[in-house]
């Protein structure tokens, strides 16, 4: 990655933070504080989730809800929430393509993604609306 791109890892232990710092990575403790999480997601130009298996990673949704595009591997449920306008899906383990996509997304103004990502989440992943859809679906089979 070019020096203009900073890597920030959230959720590291103290020993992991020390190793990360030696590699020039900004390391932050795990937080359950919603305001802190929103601030971290919103400050990021891109959220990279290199998950090798995940049924439906909510961190991708959280990042997009904060207006941040997502780069993630083509695994599990990761592909279900990402569109060409809200990020990039790459082959599992393909770090070089990840770097290219992260760089590409970082070159665009943040305003390119803020509204698109947020609107995508509100439209397709609103928990109250999805809950009602599930209830209606189940009611059809009772």
Confidence at residue 77, expressed as pLDDT on a 0 to 100 scale? 87
Confidence at residue 33, expressed as pLDDT on a 0 to 100 scale? 92
Q: How far apart are CA 105 and CA 124, in angstroms?
A: 22
Whether 4 is in a domain gets the answer no
Whether 118 is in a domain gets the answer yes
Q: How many domains does the chain have?
A: 1
Answer whether 96's CB lies under 8 Å from 104's CB: no
Whether 35 is in a domain gets the answer no
What is the reported pTM?
0.87
CATH of the domain at 88: 3.40.50.2000
Whether 34 is in a domain gets the answer no
Whether 23 is in a domain gets the answer no
User: In terms of Cα–Cα distance, which of 22, 1, 2, 33 is closest to 10?
Assistant: 33
Whether 37 is in a domain gets the answer no
Is the confidence at residue 1, as pLDDT, over 80? no
Whether 77 is in a domain gets the answer yes
Task: List pLDDT tens digits, range 53-90.
Answer: 888 889 999 999 999 999 999 998 888 899 999 999 99
Confidence at residue 56, expressed as pLDDT on a 0 to 100 scale? 86
CB burial of residue 109 (10 Å; 0-12, 13-18, 19+): exposed
Task: List pLDDT tens digits, range 89-133.
Answer: 999 999 999 999 999 999 998 889 999 999 999 999 888 777 888
Range of the domain at 116: 48-140
Task: List pLDDT tens digits, range 15-38.
Answer: 999 999 999 999 999 888 999 999
Q: How far apart are CA 40 and CA 67, in angstroms?
A: 11
């Amino acid at each position: 990655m070019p020096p203009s791109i900073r890597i920030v890892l959230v959720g590291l232990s103290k020993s992991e933070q020390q190793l990360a710092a030696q590699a020039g990575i900004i390391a932050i403790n795990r937080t359950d504080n919603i305001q802190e999480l929103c601030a971290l997601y919103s400050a990021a130009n891109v959220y990279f989730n290199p998950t090798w298996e995940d049924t439906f990673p909510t961190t991708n949704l959280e990042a997009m809800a904060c207006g941040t595009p997502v780069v993630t591997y083509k695994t599990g449920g990761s592909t279900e929430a990402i569109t060409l306008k809200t990020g990039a899906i790459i082959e599992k383990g393909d770090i070089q393509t990840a770097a290219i996509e992260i760089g590409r997304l970082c070159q665009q103004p943040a305003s390119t993604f803020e509204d698109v990502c947020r609107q995508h989440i509100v439209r397709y992943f609103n928990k109250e609306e999805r809950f009602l859809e599930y209830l209606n679906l189940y009611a059809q089979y009772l």
